[in-house]
Structure 1
Amino acid sequence: MKIQRIEAIPYAIPYAHPLKFASGEVLVAEHILVRIHTDDGLVGEADAPPRPYTYGETQDSIKSIVEKVFAPAMIGLDAMDRGKVHAILNRTINNQVAKGAVDIALWDLMGKSLGAPVHKLLGGYADHMRVSHMLGFRPAQELLDEALRFGEEYGITTFKLKVGRRPLALDIEACHVLRAGLGEDVELYLDANRGWSANEALEVLRRTEGLGLTMLEEPCDAKEAMGRRRLVEKSPIPIVGDESVPTAGDVSRELLSGGSNAICIKTARSGFTEAQQILGLCTGLGVDVTMGNQIDTQVGSMATVTFGAAHEATTRKAGELSNFLDMSDDLMAEPIAILNGTISVRDVPGVGAAIDEDKLAHYRSN
């Protein structure tokens, strides 16, 4: 099963309900579909979501690095030889989303060649994941209305509130309104996307004490090491590393330095192979993990479900899997369904994210 050709196909799908947060906003899903073709006719696929304000990658940079740097060195290799492929990928620094998509496409190929679902190859612990939904910057009552609607329509009982605004009162009010309107049985946690200082984060925690918030993700820039460590030491809830920990090495640094005491895993930036390495670090150290969302399409969300459902530790918390609902359309041939607050894995060879070719032709950029 030799790698014969690699494509990086740009496409754009507008969001019906754009998501706004401290480090930016997303109006259009300008992504890359990575396709790896083999000499026996199989095709492995994965979605690459550029997030320039977080990782510095763009649609153009992902297309260029995949087709001009990775592909020439990978063509002719056996698609099963992922170690050789990763040696090639690792020669280039950064570009985590591009590397992640290549890795997931290889796992998709492996599953298809073996006639096995990738979630089984990864571990097969469960056949579904609970869903957490992200709530963006909006007035408090609108956030509550959205959460109530998602609870009613999809059975979702976990919500991640995007915070990091100034004045702090906007986010503090949203926390109080959501807790009062949703009741005690709904899980709420926060993600500031580095929007505050450590002292501001401590003030928010003080003024939301008693609301039962379960986690605070990236409250301030992890590069502000002393403030971040002080926050971890004083916080009554876990401080989750996300954009500060895209690689296994970054995870080691943050955990050992005391900059985080929980970790968000995103397959869009780590693929499945490095995600396993990160998960191994965390489980070995007894550190909680969450499965995050890179404002993924259904293709990306299916990859997250595939990995998250495969391992016991990643099923303990609801995964951020539902923001594709804010898109005006998607590329999946068989759309994802959220039933009773969960998404099931696909019991088919590969990752289970088959593409609708007509939709791809319609939305592709060139």
Structure 2
Amino acid sequence: MKILRIEAIPYSIPYTHPLKFASGEVTDAEHVLVRIHTDEGLIGEADAPPRPYTYGETQDSIVSIIEKVFAPQLIGLDPFDRGKVHEVMARTIHNQVAKGAVDIALWDLLGKSLATPVHKLLGGYTDSMRVSHMLGFRPAQELLDEALRFGEEYGITTFKLKVGRRPLSLDIEACHVLRAGLGDDVELYLDANRGWSANEAMEVLRRTEGLGLTALEEPCDAKEAMSRRRLVEKSPIPIVGDESVPTAGDVSRELLSGGSNAICIKTARSGFTEATEILGLCTGLGVDVTMGNQIDTQVGSLATVTFGAAHEATTRRAGELSNFLDMADDLLAEPIRINGGRISVRNVPGVGAAIDEDKLARYRSN
């Protein structure tokens, strides 16, 4: 089997409301659908979500790097020779989301070729993941109303609160209102998206002590090396690296320097192959991991479930899997369902993200 053609199809689907957080705001999912075609008629697919304010990649740059740089070098290779594929992509620095999508599409292709679900090829630990829902920048009472609704409708009992606002009192109030309204049995953790300084983060932790928060993700820019190391040393809860750790090398740097003591894995930026390397680093060092969300579509969320459910360590915490509920539509032919606060893997060959071709034709940009 040989790679015959690679497509990078830009498309845009609006969100039902703007999603706001410390590092930016999005109103539309302007993503790229990656398709790898083979000479045997099989097609591997994956979604690439550009996040220019985080990684510098745009929809145009992802299309360009895949079609003009990667594809000419990958056409003709056997998709099972993943080491050769990654050697080709490694010649180009950065572009993590583009590389991740190509990798997931390859795994999808291999699963289809072997007539095996990819989650079993990756490890097959279990068949579903608990769901964590992200709460964005809104007044405290609106955040509580949303959390209560998602708990009632979907059975979700874990919530990630987007913080990083100034004044700090906005986020501190939200923490107290959510805890009082949700009770002690609901898990709450924070993500500041580099919105604070390390010293501000320490003040927030002081003023939310006793609320049972379970983690603080990316409180400040990792370049604040000394202050962040002090924050990690003093924090009573894990400080999770996210934007600062897109690659396995970055994970090693942050863990060894003391800049983080937990790691967020996002398949959208690492694919399944590098995500496996990152997970191995973390489990070897006894470091907790979370499965993050890059404001993923259902296609991307299914990839996260596929990897997360494959390993014991990635199922200990709820995965961030529900952002697709904020989208007006999706490309997935068979929509994802959240039942009892969980999302199941697809027990079909590949990842199971079959695309609705009519919807792709409707939303594609070219």
Task: Please state whether the residue corresponding to 2:31 is helix, strand or coil.
Answer: strand
In the alignment, what sits opposite 2:32? Answer: 32
In the alignment, what sits opposite 1:176? Answer: 176
In the alignment, what sits opposite 1:4? Answer: 4
1:159 aligned onto 2:167: no
Q: Structure 2 matches for 1:140-155, cutoff 5 A? A: 140-155=140-155
Alignment TM-score, normalising by the size of structure 1: 1.00
Q: Structure 2 matches for 1:235-274, cutoff 5 A? A: 235-274=235-274
In the alignment, what sits opposite 2:323? Answer: 323
Which of 171-180 and 12-21 deviates more? 12-21
In the alignment, what sits opposite 2:77? Answer: 77
In the alignment, what sits opposite 2:204? Answer: 204
Task: Please state whether the residue corresponding to 1:20 is helix, strand or coil.
Answer: strand
What's the CA shift string for 1:148-192, capped at 9, x where partnerless?
A: 000000000000000000000000000000000000000000000
In the alignment, what sits opposite 1:107? Answer: 107
Query: 2:197 & 2:294 partners in 1: Cα distance?
Result: 23
Query: 2:237 & 2:17 partners in 1: Cα distance?
Result: 30
Cα shift at 1:235: 0.4
Moved over 3 A (4+): none
In the alignment, what sits opposite 1:44? Answer: 44
Cα shift at 1:227: 0.7
Cα shift at 1:94: 0.2
In the alignment, what sits opposite 1:54? Answer: 54
Query: 1:193 & 1:325 partners in 2: Cα distance?
Result: 21
Q: Structure 2 matches for 1:255-334, cutoff 5 A? A: 255-334=255-334
Query: 1:99 & 1:18 partners in 2: Cα distance?
Result: 27
What's the CA shift string for 1:296-355, capped at 9, x where partnerless?
A: 000000000000000000000000000000000000000000000000000000001000
In the alignment, what sits opposite 2:67? Answer: 67
Query: 1:201 & 1:186 partners in 2: Cα distance?
Result: 22
Query: 1:325 & 1:203 partners in 2: Cα distance?
Result: 33
In the alignment, what sits opposite 1:98? Answer: 98
Q: Structure 2 matches for 1:331-350, cutoff 5 A? A: 331-350=331-350
Query: 1:25 & 1:124 partners in 2: Cα distance?
Result: 36
Task: Please state whether the residue corresponding to 2:188 is helix, strand or coil.
Answer: strand
Cα shift at 1:26: 1.2
- Over the matched positions of the two proteins, sequence identity in percent amounts to 89
In the alignment, what sits opposite 2:360? Answer: 360
In the alignment, what sits opposite 1:194? Answer: 194
| Number of equivalent positions | 366
Q: For 1:325, give the aligned amino acid.
A: L
Cα shift at 1:90: 0.3
- List runs of 5+ in structure 1 lacking aligned partners: none
Query: 2:343 & 2:185 partners in 1: Cα distance?
Result: 20
Q: Structure 2 matches for 1:126-145, cutoff 5 A? A: 126-145=126-145
Task: Please state whether the residue corresponding to 2:137 is helix, strand or coil.
Answer: coil
Task: Please state whether the residue corresponding to 1:15 is helix, strand or coil.
Answer: strand
Query: 1:201 & 1:79 partners in 2: Cα distance?
Result: 45
Query: 1:19 & 1:143 partners in 2: Cα distance?
Result: 13
Task: Please state whether the residue corresponding to 1:161 is helix, strand or coil.
Answer: strand
- List runs of 5+ in structure 2 lacking aligned partners: none
In the alignment, what sits opposite 1:227? Answer: 227
Query: 2:275 & 2:121 partners in 1: Cα distance?
Result: 14
Q: For 2:332, give the aligned amino acid.
A: M
Cα shift at 1:19: 1.3
Cα shift at 1:17: 2.4
